Amino acid sequence: MKKTKKIAAFILAALTLSFSFAGCGGSESTASGSSDKTAESGKVYNIGICQLVQHEALDAATKGFRDTLVEKLGEDNVKFDEQNGQGDSPTCATICNQFVSSNVDLILGNGTAALQAAYAATTEIPILGTSITHYGTALDIKDWKGYSEVNVSGTADLAPLDQQAAMLKEIFPDKKNVGIIYCSAEANSKYQFDTIKPYLEEEGYTVKAYTFSDSNDVAAVTTTACNESDVLYIPTDNTAASNAEVINNIAEPKKVPIVAGEEGICKGCGVVTLSISYYELGQKTGEMAYDILVNGKDVSKMEIQYAPTTKKYDKERCEALGIKVPDGYEAIEK
């Protein structure tokens, strides 16, 4: 009887040891196969998108952002709550507060006021901006280091302003008075005016600002600017972009050429631009979002990213105004 008990105990111990090894082997297999967090966990990422206003440039940036995340995460692993602020800061604030209440995984602020609204709504959820001119100005960070040290990063749409001034001089060397029109409610437009003004003055131009507070003032301000200027410059301004047709309907009959800060505005009312691809800008922002969501990157330490610039011109408008464009410019596709 004792011998039988010893044999049974031996068999039980052997079986226990065998299951123990099998358990360890199973854990090791699971760990080694979990490098792709999205595929293994089935995590669905919820992204809130607040776009300041609907116009070609911002639309392209949003599309590039969405396309990149869908490509990287898979269509079933990412959901977008995309809302339009209709050019209104309080509306952007309401949208972003809703995102925070929904506890989204990341917020995209497309346009300065949208980014500011997102940052005012949360200091915890990662925020990425796109189509932002200067983050230090937008976030009121005085000692700007290229990254925010808060829960915000993203991409900037600013083409170098010294190069834009040089381009204006290249196309219009004999002009004297440059009028710069922009929305006074957009902090980054004021930043662009303050930055490019001395560059243009160094080129020998007299420079004057013409500002509108909202869309209702665009026609009147543009009329005054055209009457007092030889050439106009429009920075990357969302209100101007949304009213490019209004601006063109005034400037074109008066034969006042417009140099634009981005391609969408140039297509609507300009002759030349030193521009970027807003779709590519959105793609870069999507790649940053993937690094935050999947790879655990610290948004507060991520440097602001930029897109390459290209000299472009509107062929029909240049021909109508008798403007000869030098080599090295690419015609805008319409």
Percentage helix, strand, coil for the chain under 3-state DSSP, each rounded to 5? 50, 20, 30
Torsional class of 328: left (φ above 0), alpha (ψ -120 to 50), beta (otherwise): left
Mean pLDDT along residues 218-241: 97
As a whole number, mean pLDDT of residues 203-212 equals 98
Q: Is 36 within the bounds of a domain?
A: no
Q: Are residues 109 and 237 in the same domain?
A: no
128: closest CA among 238, 237, 286, 283?
286
Is residue 30 assigned to a domain? Answer: no
Confidence of residue 21 (pLDDT cuts 50, 70, 90): very low
pLDDT reading at 10 higher than 90: no
Does one domain contain both 124 and 148?
A: yes
CATH number for position 72: 3.40.50.2300
- DSSP class of residue 295 equals T
Q: Is residue 109 pLDDT above 60, yes or no?
A: yes
Q: What is the pLDDT of residue 200?
A: 98
Range of the domain at 108: 42-157+278-303
Q: Give the chain's domain count.
A: 2
Residues 79 and 76: their CA atoms lie apart, in Å, by: 8
Q: How confident is the model at residue 162 (pLDDT cuts 50, 70, 90)?
A: very high
Positive or negative torsion for Cα 273, 55, 210, 227: positive
Is 290 found in the same domain as 147? yes
d(CA 126, CA 97): 14
Is 16 within a domain? no
- Is there a domain that residue 263 lies in? yes
> How high is the pLDDT of residue 71?
98
The mean predicted confidence, pLDDT, of the chain is 89
Q: Is residue 73 domain-resident?
A: yes
pLDDT at 159: 87
Question: CA 130, CA 122: separation in Å to the nearest integer?
Answer: 18
Are 153 and 56 found together in one domain?
yes
Query: Among the listed ranges 26-35, 64-73, 141-150, which one has the minimum average pLDDT value?
Result: 26-35
Mean pLDDT score, 251-261: 97
Shared-domain flag, residues 81 and 118: yes
Given this model, what pLDDT does residue 37 score? 52
- Any domain includes 236: yes
DSSP-derived 3-state class of residue 190: helix
Handedness of CA 237, 238, 244, 246 (dihedral sign): negative
Q: What's the pTM value of the predicted model, to 2 decimals?
A: 0.77
Asked whether residue 172 carries a pLDDT value surpassing 90, the answer given is yes
pLDDT of residue 334: 80
**Helix 218-228 and helix 244-251: axis angle, to 10°?**
40
Residue 317 has pLDDT above 50, yes or no: yes
> Is 169 found in the same domain as 96?
no
Note whether 286 and 271 are same-domain residues: no
